[in-house]
Amino acid sequence: MKRKWMFTFILLIVGFMVAVQYNTVQQPQERDTRDLWAIRNELAKERKLHSELLTEVRALDQTLGKYNASEGASVGKALADTVHSLHEQAGMVDQTGPGIIIDVVPSEESIAFGTPLHEVSPELLTRFVNEVNRFKGIDMEIDGKRVTALSAIRDINGETTVNGLPVSLPPFQIKILSADLGSSEKLYNFLQSSSILDDFYLEDFVLEVGQPESEVKINGRIEQFENHFLKELPKGG
């Protein structure tokens, strides 16, 4: 009798395990419900990221090659060139090139109805920056303040600021540089059909996007970066 109950108990455990395994196979916890186009878009994004990483690796290899091939005074020049390149990437150098100029002005309706003039909110400016950053290789300036990947757009004591500096009440200008004139034209066409124009209009502002120009100048960042981790070694160390 004892063996019969033991055999029954073992069969019960085996049956339970088989049932659990069958249910897991028939009903997976996560299913990929994306269609073919969604998967292709995801693959395209990954390829683009891979290409950008390869470009950065090549640039670093070239810099390392300059150091290895340089001797004496040439080492100092290679180092100075690298520092200048890093300053450009950080937005600390004035730049001139193809681009567009955008005037941010109050809407005619707000002026006609006597609506009090107010600042462009940090959220709206951030939304604009994110919209434009869909295009790679651009440099931007908002009301004379250079915008980089490290820039902060926030509200400080009731004022909209970029890099801690207050943004003027409209009208003011936004300048965007591109790699070439063709890229500026693509950005111009993109902004003409972008919903960001409606977002500004709902806040009583108008974005007047100027035609692409061959030479637009933007200022370098005047605020110094704070260094919390790197320390200068003593001479001869």
In a domain, 115, yes or no: yes
What is the percent of the chain with per-residue pLDDT over 90, rounded to a whole number? 43
Domain count across the chain: 2
Which of the two residues, 63 and 229, has the higher pLDDT score?
A: 63
Please indicate, yes or no, whether residues 72 and 118 belong to a single structural domain of this protein: no
What is the percent of the chain with per-residue pLDDT over 70, rounded to a whole number? 62
| 52-56, 74-78, 158-162: range with highest mean pLDDT | 158-162
In this predicted structure, the answer to whether residue 30 has a pLDDT above a threshold of 80 is no
- What was the pLDDT predicted at 149? 80
In this predicted structure, the answer to whether residue 226 has a pLDDT above a threshold of 60 is no
Q: Domain of residue 186: give its range.
A: 95-218
Which of these three, 46, 62, 89, is where a domain ends? 89
Q: Where are the alpha helices (DSSP H) in the chain?
A: 2-26, 36-69, 73-89, 108-112, 122-132, 181-192, 196-202
- What was the pLDDT predicted at 114? 86
Q: Answer whether 0.75 is exceeded by the pTM.
A: no
Smallest CA-to-CA distance from 116 within 235, 195, 52, 203 is with: 203
